Structure 1
């Protein structure tokens, strides 16, 4: 055993064990989180962690984490979210790898790579890995995971707050003030030129989703090559069941039939900017007017909160065309947002490595559970 309290990996008597998560492991997880970002962060993670485990409709065990033990001490964990995907209209059960952590004392020793490889040997099902940082991304690539390219974020700007970086504070403030005035004028003109009333579409807020989402998804899944399942229970788990949820849920109805939905969160402070996020949406890509009506309603509500930016992750070009007509611009790529691995025996679906073939949103990861 070395100074970290963990056994030396080259020691012949080191006992390695991979097992399911147990409630008592949470103390070790909290130690990892505390080392990552402090006690307040660890406490928030612990609260969200319990909700993440308890509500997944595709989980039968409610212990969807795998733990690596070295001589009885937790050395790493991996979050494995059981989930269902639609690949060219066919249902495929698999996993979402979404939360990877190695004990700070054991990093850089090949522990993460060996751990992920061992998990894959036991669980060869189709899987995706989401929102990985650079070190984790490197580990997964070494284990054979392949990136999905072309996952852009589109933004609609309202100010240049904290984006002007001259040496002169008065100049920065003047530019930011002027930019906000210009944006405000442009968007007032936009409202006069374009109809933001959603005429022809009945859009309303809801507290919870129901099984009409299930019907909507089944009717639309064939229009996307790759898409994670949506249902009322899935959306409620992600966007409604939290007692501190600030998500706003919009639905569009025709009579009593659900035509589409959209979920957003008003502006949160990030790097001194107030950023509102469109987390998830679904409607027919063949009806751009419907998507435009949902987005315009969301924009109107978000603008009441005085955002600096509205952002949306949009991979489908059919929806992206609508965003561009609303003043959204392609702002950044997200190279760590999505990777996949597929059992060789099952064959690799054509086009799976291209983001434009996926329907993928911010809501498809686990960030909806963490405060960020």
Structure 2
């Protein structure tokens, strides 16, 4: 009976029950990945605002049968510092589905110290959350650049997407036929690989904070947590510098996707929207991933002017497959309600949130 169910805040002594629940609802590899990330995302998250992480549990007696996990992120909103919350793991045990419990889990979430909330959503989670006026969302179409175009088209031609092969072939031919602009290196600018982020990234984030109404504050502490300390994944960071001044960076990743190796442009930021620096970094990133043996490169989220430079670099919009949504729901009355709610104007990349934490 639903009246026996309880919505409770997670405590560390729930840990074993939560992990047993994860094993009961996810495939083994995926459950182990979520568990491996648990301390990093939740229990030991350096940004959490309370002693316990921001996780709501659905319990039937002592048994965990659902959870909704969130974690805080630092933001710049209209140039000033704020905290926002990212919706992450959200699942109900199959035995308890079709009872609107996913929606009730979300409604039970309550972190009064954080009133600005966002998440990446697929079609299923949009249906669970519902289409309500308090949520503003934008659908994102990823960009893809084939590296081994023949292999890429051959792999897709045997799959069950009705329009996919035709669209890929047409878009691929356009990418090949598109005149390639001759790239000119910027005098005095060096692209080099770095192992950790330092205080220069605080200065870069502060310098860029006014370029967009809303952006995650990409300072030293956040970037090291997100891309250096994350368990189970390795990233490559390329930085553009001139006389030791940091002008921008790009974060790359390669990973197996089925029987193919894919590359990803995960995160990037360039001072003053400099198109030449963006182009130089993107070219260097593509070349690094090409040498790593990827068949194609994906960029799941890019805003202007980065998007235009990716077009010039041979990326095109994918017209097939599932789409993702960026959704925001600030609490009405928050002074930053209007800016945070207008997700179309955000600076956003694949690295913001949990878009690539599931592989």
* TM above 0.5: yes
Residue by residue over 1:213-270, the C-alpha shift from the partner in whole angstroms, topping out at 9 and shown as x without a partner, is 111101111001111111112111111124653210111112122111110012x232
Partner of 2:101: 111
Query: Does the Cα contact within 8 Å between 2:175 and 2:314 map onto a contact in 1?
Result: no
Partner of 1:3: none
1:123 deviates by: 6.4
Partner of 1:296: 283
Q: For 1:121 and 1:289, locate their aligned partners in 2 and report how far apart those are by CA, in whole Å.
A: 42
**Between Structure 1 and Structure 2, whose CA radius of gyration is higher?**
1
For residues 1-372 of structure 1, what are the structure 2 equivalents within 5 Å?
Answer: 8-9=1-2, 11=3, 14=4, 16-37=6-27, 39-53=28-42, 56-60=45-49, 61=51, 63-120=53-110, 125-130=115-120, 132-141=121-130, 145-158=134-147, 159=149, 160-165=153-158, 190=180, 194-195=182-183, 199-242=187-230, 244-266=232-254, 268-332=255-319, 335-346=323-334, 348-349=337-338, 352-355=341-344, 357-370=345-358, 372=359
Where 1:344 maps in the other structure, the secondary structure is coil
Change (3 A) 1:226 1:166: closer
1:91 deviates by: 2.2
Query: Does the Cα contact within 8 Å between 1:263 and 1:279 map onto a contact in 2?
Result: yes
Where 1:128 maps in the other structure, the secondary structure is strand
Q: For 2:285 and 2:98, locate their aligned partners in 1 and report how far apart those are by CA, in whole Å.
A: 44
1:206 deviates by: 0.8
1:285 deviates by: 5.0
Residue by residue over 1:73-130, the C-alpha shift from the partner in whole angstroms, topping out at 9 and shown as x without a partner, is 2222111111222222132223111111112211111111122112248567011122
Query: Does the Cα contact within 8 Å between 2:54 and 2:111 map onto a contact in 1?
Result: no
Q: For 1:207 and 1:183, locate their aligned partners in 2 and report how far apart those are by CA, in whole Å.
A: 37
Q: For 2:114 and 2:292, locate their aligned partners in 1 and report how far apart those are by CA, in whole Å.
A: 46
Q: For 2:249 and 2:67, locate their aligned partners in 1 and report how far apart those are by CA, in whole Å.
A: 34
1:141 deviates by: 2.8
Change (3 A) 1:185 1:126: closer
Q: For 1:70 and 1:289, locate their aligned partners in 2 and report how far apart those are by CA, in whole Å.
A: 57
1:302 deviates by: 0.9
Where 2:103 maps in the other structure, the secondary structure is helix
Query: Which is further off, 296-305 or 116-125?
Result: 116-125
Query: Does the Cα contact within 8 Å between 2:252 and 2:266 map onto a contact in 1?
Result: yes
Query: What is the aligned-residue RMSD (CA, Å)?
Result: 3.2
Unmatched 5+ residue regions in structure 2?
Answer: none
